Amino acid sequence: MQVVLNQPAIRINMHDLLLKSISEKIRIASAEETRIKEFFIPKKVRKKQYILNAGDVCQYITFIERGMLRSFTVDDDGNEHVVQFAVEGWWISDIGSFLSGDSALYNIEALEDSEVLNLTKPAMDDMMDQLPPLERYFRLLMQNNIVALQRRVIAYMSLSAEEKYLKLMDVCPDIISRAPQQYVASYLGITPETLSRIRKQVASRK
Amino acid sequence: MQVVLNQPAIRINMHDLLLKSISEKIRIASAEETRIKEFFIPKKVRKKQYILNAGDVCQYITFIERGMLRSFTVDDDGNEHVVQFAVEGWWISDIGSFLSGDSALYNIEALEDSEVLNLTKPAMDDMMDQLPPLERYFRLLMQNNIVALQRRVIAYMSLSAEEKYLKLMDVCPDIISRAPQQYVASYLGITPETLSRIRKQVASRK
DNA sequence: GAAAGCACTTGATGTAGATCAAGTGCGCTG
DNA sequence: CAGCGCACTTGATCTACATCAAGTGCTTTC
């Protein structure tokens, strides 16, 4: 079955969403699009496959053309904590490790069979040297990331479990419906039992 | 009394910490230091004075040469949530509002009489045009900010109130001792009563 | 120096969510 | 298609922290 939610039925080109993401933020010419593609390494990833192990160095940042991934940490008691979901059109990485060369804090795992585009640090530096407007693209990504993380910190500080869930459903209903619920619970910092109860309560109020 | 914690007894120059912060991350020449200073607007801020009101547009980012500030949000029930403390050598702003021109989410208030350096967006753009290595400095700031925010999200998700407190005391003991305890509690997402109990417990174990 | 205001501490009680333990349902495999 | 494994749901009980209410201590003001 080739039809994927929010995707055109037929994928013409492996880099479509990447170029769309970039052109939404900065202006790029057709010749530049061809150049950009050359810096990326296409890769297919199987459901449950890890693309990053905590403790290794994160060697590339990953753009998702199809599928879904999650990044997560494992605490001292062996509990997993989902830090991020990423789907078509989104980036995922351990950015601290990628940029500093330190050990990664996160594992990154595919939740569905996926197709991704990887960008190594040397390729990224080359690309920005040769196409300077890309610097602005990545700066905007970082800024948006900071704003999103700050909002998430505030939500953790100030909202009840149900309020967090409802807010998340407001912002990304499709992702949350698509992701395994135990991981949604983990992302919200609550147990699967609590999430199940909240969902039941919310449904009974409709 | 002119002696301030962690500060030389006599302040020679209003931009000392700023230049130190920058030169720790990128290489700058003496002539460039003089140029950099010119983009910043020095300002004295009184204890309890607001330098940003939520709802306004954040017009400048602020570097602290002396003193302490906090940024915080006020929720629908009127509760304050401290998002950040900033002291000498640190930056503070509502970065989303600063860069996009949207309304600020945060209030920023001085917790002590302070001296700060403000940098408007036009001045920032000019400065980076004329001194391109500064782009790298601000990029590194953003990267460090992302890493710190991610760690904070994980802490909220996975640690108990006491663990969060102990971790914070490990990382910035001086700031936490210097800040009013009610705001420390707010920063940790716990009540002042709980923080008081934790502190008592921890002290009784020494 | 006394009084007022407010931050911090302490005690009692309440509660949102965690933990533990089964039961149910869904997807995958042979 | 049947069986197995595991995700999700449900019920009971527990607990870390919130809430409420005073008491104590510190700082500021007159």
Yes or no: say if A115 and A17 are a contact pair by the CB < 8 Å rule: no
Q: What is the pLDDT of residue B76?
A: 84
What is the complex's ipTM, to 2 decimals? 0.89
Question: What mean pLDDT do residues A135-156 have?
Answer: 93
Question: Which residue spans within A9-165 are E strands per DSSP?
Answer: 41-45, 50-52, 60-66, 68-74, 80-87, 91-92, 107-110, 114-120
Q: What is the pLDDT of residue B70?
A: 96
Question: What mean pLDDT do residues A124-136 have?
Answer: 92
Say whether pLDDT at A123 is over 80.
yes
Structure tokens at A93: 């990485």
Mean pLDDT computed over every residue of chain A: 91
Beta-carbon contacts of residue A46 (< 8 Å; ≥ 6 apart): A110, A113
Minimal C-alpha gap between B38 and chain A (Å): 25
Which chain B residues are closer than 8 Å to A76 by Cβ? none
Preferred mutation among B25, B147, B168, B195 to probe A, highest tally of A CBs within 10 A: B147
Which chain A residues are closer than 8 Å to B157 by Cβ? 81, 156, 186, 189
Beta-carbon contacts of residue A95 (< 8 Å; ≥ 6 apart): A58, A61, A145, B143, B146, B147
Say whether pLDDT at A206 is over 80.
no
Residues B138-159 have pLDDT tens digits of 999 999 999 999 999 999 989 9
Residues B35-49 have pLDDT tens digits of 999 999 999 999 999
Q: What is the pLDDT of residue B12?
A: 52
Q: How confident is the model at residue A204 (pLDDT cuts 50, 70, 90)?
A: confident
Question: What mean pLDDT do residues A131-138 have?
Answer: 91
Q: What is the pLDDT of residue A205?
A: 80
- A38: nearest Cα among A139, A124, A140: A124
Residues A17-69 have pLDDT tens digits of 999 999 999 999 989 999 999 999 999 999 999 999 999 999 999 999 999 99
Q: How confident is chain B (206 residues) per 10-residue block, as mean pLDDT? A: 40 82 92 93 94 96 96 90 96 95 95 95 94 91 95 93 95 92 96 96 85
Q: What is the pLDDT of residue A103?
A: 96
Preferred mutation among B61, B92, B136, B158 to probe A, highest tally of A CBs within 10 A: B158
- What's the CA gap between A70 and A109, in Å, rounded? 6
Q: Stated in angstroms, how far is A3 CA from D1 C1'?
A: 28
Q: Does residue B195 approach strand C to less than 7 Å at its CB?
A: yes
Residues 26-45 of B with CB under 7 A from strand C: none
Question: What mean pLDDT do residues A132-157 have?
Answer: 93
Minimal C-alpha gap between B149 and chain A (Å): 6
Q: What is the pLDDT of residue A13?
A: 75
Residues A11-28 have pLDDT tens digits of 557 899 999 999 999 999
Helix (H, G, I), strand (E, B) or coil at A111: coil
Q: How confident is the model at residue A8 (pLDDT cuts 50, 70, 90)?
A: very low
- What whole-number percentage of chain A has pLDDT above 70? 94
